[in-house]
Structure 1
Amino acid sequence: MSVYGVYLVADSASTAGRPLADIVKAAVDGGIRTVQLRCKDMPAGEFADVVMECAHHTAGRAALLVNDRVDVFLAARASGADVQGVHIGQSDLPAALVRELIGPDAVLGLSAASDAQIDAANKLQLRSPGTIDYLGVGAVHATPTKRDHPEPLGHAGLARAVGLSDLPVIAIGGIDADDVAPLARSGAAGVAVVRAICAAGDPRAAATNLLNLWEGTKP
């Protein structure tokens, strides 16, 4: 499954107090087709419950990915949730091991922030094709949703990363509506947004606007 474009990272800390499932439903109603759930400080059992709840809104409509927690993904899938994969960072379990755990048909995304990390992903993909499905590359801009973000790349740096990567690149990090067109023109396979939808007064309208901006860059 390769559904990117505008990619929602639904972050439990960025919803202005609203239930995460409500944000996900609104975003999917607005046309979002890839959703990653990020609940950094949530216990595994509670996170699994959130995944199950969100899956009711994404089933058959959007790919649902779990951030970092391979155990939560496996538990949700074993419970019958329509969940498609995981996204991991450089400090999580190695990508090759995660692929073994989640199986060949699940989506696996990996964060990358440097030339060396992109090169390592390229080499892994050469040795074991199909291990990684895409790279989440950033931060494009500084962002409060990830305090340990690397030095911002900007639009030019993201375009350079696209050129270095053998895998589809999803741009991430402080992205808002003004970034969508230039990042799409850089060759990115998608743009991951957090606050641009999660913190919006009307998440559905925000999602639709971002998608229209993305689609407007296509010939």
Structure 2
Amino acid sequence: MPRLYAILDAESCARRGVSLLETAKAWRDAGVTLVQYRDKVASDASVLENAALLRRVFEGTDATLILNDRVHLFAASGFDGVHVGQGDDAVAPVRAVIGPDAVLGVSTHNPAQVSIADGLAVSYVAVGPVFATLTKLDAEPVVGLDGVALARSLTRKPLVAIGGIAAVNASSVLEAGADSVAVISGLLDGDVAAFLRIVQE
């Protein structure tokens, strides 16, 4: 699993006045190979339109494209997988919809949820928020580096850490046991190529 999990969040792009499409192109050119497209407010039609544009951006690369929630749009999106949270559809029905080969990730926020996720048909387990984050106004309590380490001990599945991760702390998160760091603001506000170098060291 790539050590950088880039989340292309439509609201975060809009707040900064940057283009979703141009951001995706910059990430592609920098070498990002795992991207989740997240849009909590747009219509299904708009999400599918953007999904088609993103597919074209990453066409010919080995990038994996993940759709946040919107499980009912998975087939039409042409993406490689979906990511769901604790409040979204249960994992078993989602797996039934997307099929056995698609990537399926699930968010967890405490040891009990990590343990449960370890026994489910998911491709990876996300844990967080590791640090305080402004990207989600309804964020769960911070788990910290100790929470990442504990999650690592509870699952053998690939572990993705998320929440407040930036260039200054990404290495510590990986050292705590995460296989990959999921980043939103840290990529929109910084040098993507430099971030990639940090996590690959």
Shorter-normalised TM range? over 0.9
1:34 aligns with 2:53: no
- Of residues 180, 183, 189, the one that matches 1:193 is 183
- Of residues 81, 95, 99, the one that matches 1:99 is 95
1:75 aligns with 2:76: yes
- Name the CA distance, whole Å, in 2 between partners of 1:148 and 1:4: 27
- Name the CA distance, whole Å, in 1 between partners of 2:149 and 2:194: 23
Aligned amino acid, residue 97 of structure 1:
P
Task: State the shift of 1:38 in Å.
Answer: 0.5
Aligned length in residues: 198
Aligned amino acid, residue 17 of structure 1:
G
Displaced runs of 4 or more, over 2 A: none
Aligned amino acid, residue 136 of structure 1:
A
1:127 corresponds to which residue? none
Task: State the shift of 1:45 in Å.
Answer: 0.5
- Name the CA distance, whole Å, in 2 between partners of 1:20 and 1:47: 12
- 3-state DSSP of counterpart to 1:149: coil
Bigger relative CO (Cα 8 Å, ≥ 6 apart): 1
1:128 corresponds to which residue? none
1:145-156 alignment runs, 5 A limit: 145-156=135-146
Aligned amino acid, residue 167 of structure 1:
K
- 3-state DSSP of counterpart to 1:32: coil
Deviations 1:159-217 (A, max 9, x none): 221111231110000110011111111221100000111244xxxxx22111111111x
- 3-state DSSP of counterpart to 1:177: coil
Deviations 1:66-96 (A, max 9, x none): 001112222222xxxxx21100001111111
List alignment gaps of at least 5 residues for structure 1: 78-82, 125-130, 201-205
- Name the CA distance, whole Å, in 1 between partners of 2:101 and 2:59: 16
Task: State the shift of 1:153 in Å.
Answer: 1.3
The farther-off stretch of 182-191 and 105-114 is: 182-191
Deviations 1:84-137 (A, max 9, x none): 11000011111111111111111000000111111111233xxxxxx2000111
Identical columns (%): 36
